[in-house]
Copies of this chain bind each other. A is one copy, B any other.
Amino acid sequence: MKFRCLLLTALLIPAFGSASAVADETKAVQGEVRAWREANEQQIVDGFVELLSIPNVASDSANIRRNADYLGGLLESRGFETRLLESAGPPAVYGERMAEGAERTIMIYIHYDGQPANAADWASDPWKPVMRTGMVEDGASAVPIKAPFDPEWRLFGRSSGDDKAPVIALLAALDALAANGHEPKVNLKVFLEGEEEAGSPHLQEVLAANRELLQADLWLFCDGPMHQSRRLQLVYGVRGTTGFDVTVHGPARPLHSGHYGNWAPNPIAELMDLLLSMRAPNGEILVEGYFDEVTPLTESEQYAIESAPSVDELLLDQLGIGAAETDERVEMAIMRPAMNFRGIRSGDVGDDARNAIQVSATASVGLRLVPSQTPAHVRRAINAHIQAKGFTVLDHPPSTEERTRHERIAEVHWSEHGYPAYRASMDLPIAQEIAAILDSVGAEPLIQLPTMGGSLPIYLIAQEIGAPVLILPVANHDNNQHGKDENIRLQNLWDAIEIYAAVITGL
């Protein structure tokens, strides 16, 4: 056991140079960057407020282009050559700043669009940033946006956490390094996407059209929330996604439950029976062939998960859950393919319930894929499972003739927007290099996770560009991304500046 742990620890130690030399250099730069930031907080925050004041819903073409132009200007003032990469959607802002003699190129991915926001739900206008002394739900009060700032204060506004904070932190890191006479030893590229929250409908097209331009040794995805423990984490992948709606059809019209109950098929019962035949109470997927393509975790990946601090007890308490669905820790549970029953509808409940056997019952099922599952394969496996359960699978409501010809009918509609998972290898030298840098930036050891729970179409980068991708989240985990009162905790912003400076100078 001891031997195994030593071996696995060895796998996570950087394979290049001396770990302590990296740490010493990182710490030195970190101190200079921190001093510069402490002297320039007002200026950093003012710039952030200005950026957050430009509404950024992807479908709002005029404003989204204002964001793009504004971001291009910010990059150019830091010496980047920029271009807008056009498609039928919002432009991607591309920038590059080549370093003399640099042998490697790093691409920083950030998205500048945000989720739509219902202003009525927010404590203040989503696009008029407000500083508060803490979380709205804790009754924090608004304060003037004036230094000195308490690091526990939060700046509220759509995209403050997801995903404009990385832009501001990256620019501040570059400014801090320049002020201290540090030049990056790596070519820097940035790719700022303008429709991530809209599902990246044109990302593949833009990547394919700009393959040469977008080449890099690593794409660093700066998106998502940090670990709940507030410790820095590096994530090697994301889950894929697809889903379907299934409608089980019963009688052609609602039937009196007294006259026909126990005889006419009950579509709610049949739907439930079908759904539970696909998923065990602990979440295990029971569909034959479903795991054919699954790549098991490597020992390094398992060890990395086991090394992360456990947040299970914290989550049970915060989320009001008496017991988890599984004995596994949450980080391990999300390594499995997941089937989520996200909605179910038939008839009415409460006072509106009628004593009828319903004509149909519909469920919506979300699927999270792990490497190397493909949407096409899971679709085939699930359709075959439904048929094996005795259902005729249709893609349309049954005709009168189909109703009487088939004993059981399931109408199935698959999501058009499915995509596979992505996971980089922990053995990649550049991954180990980044891990070593990050490990020396934080006060506590770096957390490394093979896959985060959410889904992003990162596979596109591997597919179109061929570069490995790592995900480096910097926003506080409670930034309310996608929801009302989205915010960035100032300490997270300050830390992000040091993180980017360390990566840029450390590579």
Contacts and interface: CB of A to CB of B under 8 A. Distances in A.
Interface of A: 239, 241, 243, 245, 250-253, 255-266, 268-270, 272-273, 275-276, 279, 281, 283, 315-317, 319-326, 328, 330, 333-334, 336, 338-350, 352-358, 361-364, 366, 368, 400, 403-409, 452-455
Contacts of A362: 349-350
A279 to B, nearest CB: 6
Contacts of A338: 257-258, 261-262
Say what secondary structure dominates the interface of chain A: mixed
Contact of A453 (B261, B400, B452): B261
Given A251-B320, A261-B366, 8 more contacts: A245-B353, A259-B452, A259-B454, A262-B333, A269-B275, A322-B408, A342-B353, A344-B349
Please give me the 3 A-B residue pairs with the lowest Cβ-Cβ distance, nearest first.
A252-B320, A343-B347, A353-B364
A66 to B, nearest CB: 29
Contacts of A257: 338, 340, 342, 366, 368
A256 B409 CA distance: 31
Contacts of A346: 341, 343-344
A320 B400 contact: yes
A256 B250 CA distance: 32
Contacts of A354: 342-343
This chain's copy number in the assembly: 2
The residue in A334, A343, A366, A400 that gathers the most chain B C-beta atoms within 10 A of its C-beta is: A343
B343 A404 contact: no
Contacts of A348: 342-343, 345, 364
A187 B273 CA distance: 56
A313 to B, nearest CB: 11
A245 B341 CA distance: 20
Contacts of A403: 320-322
A137 to B, nearest CB: 10
Contact of A317 (B265, B283, B333, B404): B404
A262 B283 contact: yes
A153 to B, nearest CB: 24
23 contacts: A239-B258, A251-B321, A252-B321, A256-B454, A258-B452, A258-B455, A262-B325, A263-B325, A264-B319, A265-B324, A268-B341, A269-B276, A269-B279, A273-B281, A316-B404, A320-B400, A321-B404, A322-B407, A342-B357, A343-B354, A343-B358, A344-B346, A347-B364
A325 B405 contact: no
A330 B404 CA distance: 17
The residue in A273, A325, A350, A368 that gathers the most chain B C-beta atoms within 10 A of its C-beta is: A325
Contacts of A239: 258
A418 to B, nearest CB: 12
A323 B408 contact: yes
A271 to B, nearest CB: 8
A80 B270 CA distance: 54
B353 A319 contact: no
A262 B341 contact: no
Contact of A366 (B270, B316, B343, B355): B355
